[in-house]
Structure 1
Amino acid sequence: MIAQRTLLASAVLSALASLSNSALAQEQEKILPSVVVTASPFSNEENAQIMAPAKVLYGDELREKLGNSLGDTLSQELGVSASAFGAGASRPIIRGMEGPRVKILQNGMSVMDASSLSNDHAVVGESATARQIEILRGPAALLYGSGAIGGVVNIVNDRIPTILNSKPTGEAEARFGTADKMKNGSFSIDGAAGAIGLHVDGNARDADDYKIPGYANASDPAQGSGRLPNSYARSNSVGFGASYIQDWGYIGASVGADDNRYGIPTEEKSYITQKQTRYDVAGLIKNPFGNFESFRFKLGYTDYKHTENLEDGTPATEFKNKASETRWELTHKPLAGWRGTFGLQTENSEFSALPVDDDHGHGHSHATVPVTKSQTIAGFLVEERDFGPVRASAGARIESVKRRPDAASGLVQRDFNLGSYSLGGLWTFTQGYGLGLTASVAQRAPAIEELYSNGPHESTATYDIGDANLRKETSRNIELSLQKTEGLLRWKANAYQNRVKNYVYGRTDGTMVDDHGDADPTGEFLQRFWSQNDATIRGLEAEVSYNLRGNGFSWRTFADTSRGTLSGAGNLPLQPTTRFGGEIGYREGNWRSGLKVLHAEKQNRLASFETYAAPSYTQVDANLSYTQNFQSTPITWFAIAKNLLNEDIRLSTSVLREVAPLSGRSLIVGVRTSF
């Protein structure tokens, strides 16, 4: 907390020292290009997102932070940590919120995988072919569903073209890693044939078990050392898209396929094979009628399946999700000074998690989740208006959710009516400085697995038991933000409190059971119950940066901390620890370099049923790149060093922190080009 107060004080002093430095601010605007947040209903720039604090990763910054998973890629962003279930599966955790409370999108549509159900399920969305990755909170999150209480992460790959290129453009990259013998190749190409825009992208990754500094489990040397057993990850993806583009707008379609296989680094050494085929249709009509600026629609369908396999290759449990989503949005012209978007969203899915020897799940108590159909329909509205130096933003969403388990399961059907709203204001008290305040109430229906689980989960070695009588969650959040958004020197500070009524979480009592749920001290499954209690999450974030994207020297310091507690029951499980760090960089001509240091304190604020306190660690990373032109084509050679101190890093947000540390020292080298 001392480091946090130091950063906040530094930010205030920086503001006072630079209020009159308008020339510096103008110069910075020439250096830093504006970045459009595509998940924002107002197409706001990143720097305008005070009421919905946003981060947009793109270009060199995205490539330098790129990891084998989405969680790994985003794990050092302000307020973001990762679940870290080995190299193959790691999902972002935003301000202590995880799983179904963080909505993962691809081009503004839900990824419709099974990653929100459990930490061992990988996100189907490839960062290597992304043009940018956006992190979004606040009023705009209400556009995307009750699963966005914690925030939204949007992977943008522009698979459906929206503009016509006069000539083919694209980029390609190959990289190699030493710690896991990783080989990764990716490409993305856009072109046009008359009025038809075309796109193709692909990625292939092959990584072996990664090196670790010591033993996988410090208290059990028999579990392995040197390399983390069963931590390999292999993935392939390909996507095609085409659009008919005219002055009035566009209409297009795309198809994508993902095929992944990765190990679960536990004593059982199970592994997951994962496949998804995805189809999307999207369109935009400009000035469709009356007082409307645009009409957008998106339709998506996903056929998802993953199988959890035993070490010898025997399939144990098969997860399936066939899901469709539609979005219809109208953006109106200014009305009494208000600008905004309203629309309709629907989701339909059929989900199951069944033993492979029972494809129907009828009458079997050991089915992890029975076949369950879900139907969601929602209406939403997001508006903003300027009142002199104050910009107001408001959002509202009403939503109906129906859960329909298979009749043979004997489980009760559930209906939930949800209402969410958000109101925020940004006061620009002087040019480049803003003070923002946001208050929101958001409701979430319990997820299928929280309601109906009743069976073994091989990869987590738990026997999950849901509660069909769970009530809806209601989150009340208030956030205060202060930012300087212009000039070479910029900073931000956020303070927030989130009170959640009927917070759903998994708890254990230490009981070991067999694969039928019967108590057995030698059983391989730990009994886990889905429960509810009121919860509170409070946190602080601060960041100060200088010349992050300009030539010459740059630097950044940051800190974040949060505390999650259950009413009368101690701490929330799997909470992030206090972190602080900094980075310096230098860019001149064709050269780019950087050094980053992140320190995380020991996390000893454990839930009542947690026994392992994640130790403190210091992570040091560095990067160096050189760009040369070959027949007018830029070619960038790069090297990225991760965990230079070879620290034994165990994340407090990881279920496997006691038995699966992160990778040790690693060097990644590669080459990329664009045309």
Structure 2
Amino acid sequence: MLAISLLFILPFKVFADELPGQDNTLTGTVTDKDTQGPLPGATIYLPDLKIGAVADAQGNYTVKHLPQGRFLVEVRYIGHAAITEQIVIKGNTSRNFILSASVTEQNEVVVTGVNVATQLRQNPTPISIVRKDFLDRTVSSNLVDAIAQLPGVSQVSTGPAISKPFIRGLGYNRVVVVNDEVRQEGQQWGDEHGLEVDDYNVNKIEILKGPASLMYGSDALAGVVNIISDMPVPMGTIRGGIDANYQSNNGLFGYHANIAGNQNGFSWKLYGTRKMAHDYKNKYDDYVLNSKFRNTNYGAGIGLNKSWGYSRLSFSSYSLEPGLVEGERDENGKFIKPVNDNGNVEEVAANSDDFKSYHPLFPKQRIDHQKLVWDNSFYFANGSRVAVNLGYQVNKRREYENVLAPDDVALYFKLKTFNYGFKYFLADMDGWQTTVGINGMQQQNSNHGSEFLIPSYNLFDAGVFALTRKTFGKLTVAGGLRFDYRQLKSDALYLDGNEKPVPSPVTGGITRFGAFERDFSNVSGSVGLSYAASDKLTLKLNVARGFRAPNIAELSANGVHEGTIRYEYGNNNLKAEVSTQVDAGVELATEHITLGVNAFYNNINNYIYSRKLLGADGQDSIPVAENEDGYAAFQYQQGRAYLYGGEITIDIHPHPIHWLHFENSLSWVEARLANGNDSTKYLPTIPPLRWLSELRGDFRKNGKGVRNIYAKVQLDKFFDQKNVFSAYNTETVTGGYALLNAGVGAEFVNKNNRTLFALHVAANNITDEAYQNHLNRLKYAGENVVTGRTGVYGMGRNFSVKVSIPLEFK
């Protein structure tokens, strides 16, 4: 323990004081092109150094304690086109920036899937970017619910608290979620397992669509969701904020507070979040029993930026207690709940107090996730640098389902993960930017409950990679190779006649899981081109190969998981998935129109999917053991699959009314199994065609005491999904629907033009449409015998009010 503590403290002690003559600075001014006046509050940020500054009242800025070298600098100000520029830092460097007014985001910078911070238009792979202002304007109950509005992104959900990201029809372990340089590991294989990330503690999200295994290894077959929350405040400032949100449909209350400082390169941060909701309602089901949840998060971080680079240590704790919706009803169509009736379990109709309570009923989950991340970057005089990222996270996932013994844990997984990464960034060689590295994880998952879905196991994962890129005038070329190795060792589990774990087989007992060991390895690669045909037109092409090793549930599941509403069997003979994907894109940005067209074709060998099993009588196979509710059995199998489709986005902002935006996006995925028949030719869990249309007015310059007013109305149209995996009643057709949403907001300022608070008022599903999302697991809940409707419907009309109060101290 002492050795680990010294390892964390070493950079702070060794490099705490600068050596004479080593310090480098970047200074200058930020002004408006039209007025030639200063732009106070403009942000200057160096993404690779995680350091920045804010322009003062005269537009002046200073960034101290910089390493020597060439770095990408990003300058941003509301209502203006961002500037991104490569600047050579050596000694006292001066650079002035002149920003032009703009109604659209331009010159975005990305760090996902690339070796150094890069302009978005120079990156061959399709990436969507979300910033905090987008999250503030969006009505959502969790983080994935918010980003699911982006083209090509959807969600599998099991109630308002539990959502998983899908990218172009692929999800679960095919999407890697990264939070502050470390893979998020928390049982991603489960339908009812969401992300353990605080949605209030987010600065920026980058969503990469397509195989990204070069940087992230196995599991990034569909893409990467990179959540960036650890962005130090500018030097010489202490900043924070208080956020509050109320939503009417499920009585959601959300509170968040944070405070952070940065003095002479030493930075720190503290935050805390509390969120809770009772059951949501819709016009078909009324209140949906046990869709409530409670969420508590907190975290802290410290860091140091000096001319040698930076070192940052952060800790986060996430705790969620969601109810699990079963959807069972009585003969009158009323939701029922289990109660303790003198030592016996009785099913009774739920009452209004049950629906309005903020404490989940049985069955329910308790998820606790703690994470410690140490992120370092050290620079050398020759222009090269080394990045070292270490992370340790513990995920405890417990399910409670016995009303007679409320403290007894049914399923209980304890997952410990050690993440490591080492990257060496070579010095610039004739414009080539090259990085080599190794990363991976050591993982241990153990069972501690009385029920068992997957066995305990140990996993070791390692990958070596090399990435390079260069810009030749208008053409940028990027690519690389990676080799991955993964070993998974599963433990045996024996049960006695009372279904209690025993160390070895016994007479009358059963072998629930047999011990096994599997090794997986593969070579991945990609090559891409981005061509700036003009200042307005960019053409992109990328070809990538990725792979995904089967997860523990796919290999060995044997049991019921309450949230999935099914009994799952694994398949120990599964092979690794191998994907080859081609992406092509066209981006056009003119004074009146911003247009993006992206198309893809993805061929996946050994695609893993789950299908329903049939018994000897041709009906559903219903296992008896640990299956009191009579769930049908599903098993994992493989086949060759191919997916194709794309996204089209267009933003019309006509001259001279640049404040008006008419944004439209169309997302489409077609996914098929090779050699499938009529009922098996389509892949399961594929989102339908979706059209999202928004008419918005952005008013940057407003009256006294208010600024940045916006108003929007939105139509979110989901079309019928008839292309389903209908064999064995695995999946059913879902009808289309349209949701009408609207919102308004503004910032309120004092006489010095300083923001006092921001207010956002919105309404979702204004017409109170009754709908079922094709990827919502509650669609397959039980039948209401009174109405004949199967499953549970989505949230009805919902009003939301958000208030954000910024804090700043000298």
The TM-score range, normalised by the shorter chain, is 0.7 to 0.9
Tell me what 1:10 maps to: none
Q: 1:334 to 1:140 in 2, by over 3 A?
A: farther
Matching residue within 709, 713, 734 for 1:614: 734
Matching residue within 348, 364, 368 for 1:271: 364
Instruction: Measure the CA separation in 2 of the matches of 1:51 and 1:147.
Output: 21
Segment of structure 1 superposing worse, 368-377 or 580-589:
580-589
Tell me what 1:3 maps to: none
> In the alignment, is residue 121 of structure 1 matched against residue 193 of structure 2?
yes
Q: Which amino acid aligns with 1:454?
A: N
Q: Which amino acid aligns with 1:267?
A: G
Q: Deviations over 1:438-477 (max 9, x none)?
A: 1111111111111121222222232221112211111011
> In the alignment, is residue 639 of structure 1 matched against residue 761 of structure 2?
yes
Question: What's the offset of the Cα at 1:55?
Answer: 1.1
Question: What's the offset of the Cα at 1:647?
Answer: 1.1
Q: Which amino acid aligns with 2:484?
A: E
Q: 1:652 to 1:454 in 2, by over 3 A?
A: same
> In the alignment, is residue 109 of structure 1 matched against residue 182 of structure 2?
yes
Tell me what 2:9 maps to: none
> In the alignment, is residue 350 of structure 1 matched against residue 444 of structure 2?
yes
Q: Which amino acid aligns with 2:625?
A: H
- Secondary structure in structure 2 of the residue aligned to 1:61: helix
Instruction: Measure the CA separation in 1 of the matches of 2:653 and 2:307.
Output: 38
Instruction: Measure the CA separation in 1 of the matches of 2:529 and 2:419.
Output: 32
Q: 1:46 to 1:457 in 2, by over 3 A?
A: farther
Matching residue within 139, 152, 175 for 2:224: 152
Tell me what 1:461 maps to: 565
Segment of structure 1 superposing worse, 321-330 or 192-201:
192-201
Instruction: Measure the CA separation in 1 of the matches of 2:440 and 2:529.
Output: 30
Name the structure, 1 or 2, with higher relative contact order (CA <8 Å, separation 6+): 1
Identity of matched residues, %: 22
Instruction: Measure the CA separation in 1 of the matches of 2:130 and 2:390.
Output: 26
Equivalent residue runs for 1:325-404 within 5 Å? 325-353=419-447, 356-357=449-450, 367-404=452-489
> In the alignment, is residue 87 of structure 1 matched against residue 87 of structure 2?
no
Question: What's the offset of the Cα at 1:489?
Answer: 2.0
Tell me what 1:529 maps to: 635
Segment of structure 1 superposing worse, 88-97 or 324-333:
324-333
Q: Deviations over 1:509-544 (max 9, x none)?
A: 253434627xx8x75222111111111111121000
Q: 1:94 to 1:139 in 2, by over 3 A?
A: closer
Instruction: Measure the CA separation in 1 of the matches of 2:689 and 2:515.
Output: 42
Instruction: Measure the CA separation in 1 of the matches of 2:119 and 2:402.
Output: 46
Any conservation in 1 of the 2:413–2:447 contact (CA below 8 Å)? yes
Q: Which amino acid aligns with 1:559?
A: L
> In the alignment, is residue 566 of structure 1 matched against residue 660 of structure 2?
no
Question: What's the offset of the Cα at 1:425?
Answer: 1.0
Instruction: Measure the CA separation in 1 of the matches of 2:442 and 2:176.
Output: 16
Question: What's the offset of the Cα at 1:488?
Answer: 4.8
Question: What's the offset of the Cα at 1:157?
Answer: 0.8
Tell me what 1:4 maps to: none
Q: Deviations over 1:196-231 (max 9, x none)?
A: 2101122110111011121xxxxxxxxxx2111111
Q: Deviations over 1:98-126 (max 9, x none)?
A: 10000111112111111x21110121012
Q: 1:89 to 1:49 in 2, by over 3 A?
A: farther
Structure 2 residue ranges without an equivalent (≥5): 1-80, 84-98, 329-361, 494-512, 615-619, 781-790
TM-score normalised by the chain length of structure 1: 0.88
Tell me what 2:148 maps to: 75
- Secondary structure in structure 1 of the residue aligned to 2:411: strand
Instruction: Measure the CA separation in 1 of the matches of 2:750 and 2:293.
Output: 34
Question: What's the offset of the Cα at 1:494?
Answer: 1.0
Tell me what 1:627 maps to: 747
Q: 1:45 to 1:290 in 2, by over 3 A?
A: closer
Question: What's the offset of the Cα at 1:47?
Answer: 3.7
Q: Which amino acid aligns with 1:86?
A: G
Q: Which amino acid aligns with 1:266?
A: E
Any conservation in 1 of the 2:115–2:467 contact (CA below 8 Å)? no
Instruction: Measure the CA separation in 2 of the matches of 1:581 and 1:111.
Output: 29
> In the alignment, is residue 133 of structure 1 matched against residue 227 of structure 2?
no
- Secondary structure in structure 2 of the residue aligned to 1:464: strand
Q: Deviations over 1:589-613 (max 9, x none)?
A: 2221111111111111110233421
Tell me what 1:665 maps to: 797
Instruction: Measure the CA separation in 2 of the matches of 1:33 and 1:474.
Output: 35
> In the alignment, is residue 169 of structure 1 matched against residue 239 of structure 2?
yes
Tell me what 1:100 maps to: 173
Q: Deviations over 1:66-119 (max 9, x none)?
A: 5222321111111011102111111111000010000111112111111x2111
Q: Which amino acid aligns with 1:310?
A: E
Q: 1:515 to 1:351 in 2, by over 3 A?
A: farther
Tell me what 1:554 maps to: 661
Segment of structure 1 superposing worse, 307-316 or 645-654:
307-316
Question: What's the offset of the Cα at 1:303?
Answer: 1.0
- Secondary structure in structure 2 of the residue aligned to 1:316: coil
Q: 1:34 to 1:186 in 2, by over 3 A?
A: farther
Any conservation in 1 of the 2:272–2:299 contact (CA below 8 Å)? yes
- Secondary structure in structure 1 of the residue aligned to 2:283: strand
Q: 1:141 to 1:628 in 2, by over 3 A?
A: farther
Q: 1:605 to 1:79 in 2, by over 3 A?
A: same
Q: Which amino acid aligns with 2:309?
A: G
Any conservation in 2 of the 1:308–1:459 contact (CA below 8 Å)? no
Matching residue within 534, 541, 544 for 2:647: 541
Instruction: Measure the CA separation in 1 of the matches of 2:219 and 2:792.
Output: 29
Q: Deviations over 1:631-659 (max 9, x none)?
A: 73431122011111211221112222242
- Secondary structure in structure 2 of the residue aligned to 1:373: strand
Q: 1:120 to 1:197 in 2, by over 3 A?
A: same
Q: 1:41 to 1:129 in 2, by over 3 A?
A: same
Tell me what 2:307 maps to: 247
Segment of structure 1 superposing worse, 464-473 or 164-173:
164-173
Tell me what 1:203 maps to: 273
Q: 1:256 to 1:551 in 2, by over 3 A?
A: farther
Question: What's the offset of the Cα at 1:36?
Answer: 2.8
Instruction: Measure the CA separation in 1 of the matches of 2:764 and 2:160.
Output: 14
Segment of structure 1 superposing worse, 581-590 or 335-344:
335-344
Tell me what 1:18 maps to: none
> In the alignment, is residue 600 of structure 1 matched against residue 718 of structure 2?
yes
Any conservation in 2 of the 1:353–1:368 contact (CA below 8 Å)? no
Higher Rg of the two aligned structures: 2
Instruction: Measure the CA separation in 2 of the matches of 1:335 and 1:468.
Output: 47
Q: Which amino acid aligns with 1:208?
A: H
Q: Which amino acid aligns with 2:735?
A: P
Any conservation in 2 of the 1:139–1:393 contact (CA below 8 Å)? no
Tell me what 2:554 maps to: 450
Q: Which amino acid aligns with 2:308?
A: W
Alignment size in residue pairs:
624
Tell me what 2:625 maps to: 516
Q: Deviations over 1:10-50 (max 9, x none)?
A: xxxxxxxxxxxxx9x99565864644323243554564265
Tell me what 1:489 maps to: 593
Equivalent residue runs for 1:42-57 within 5 Å? 42-44=115-117, 47-48=120-121, 51-57=124-130
Q: Which amino acid aligns with 1:427?
A: Y
Instruction: Measure the CA separation in 2 of the matches of 1:425 and 1:585.
Output: 34
Question: What's the offset of the Cα at 1:573?
Answer: 0.6
Any conservation in 1 of the 2:235–2:264 contact (CA below 8 Å)? no
Instruction: Measure the CA separation in 2 of the matches of 1:611 and 1:506.
Output: 10
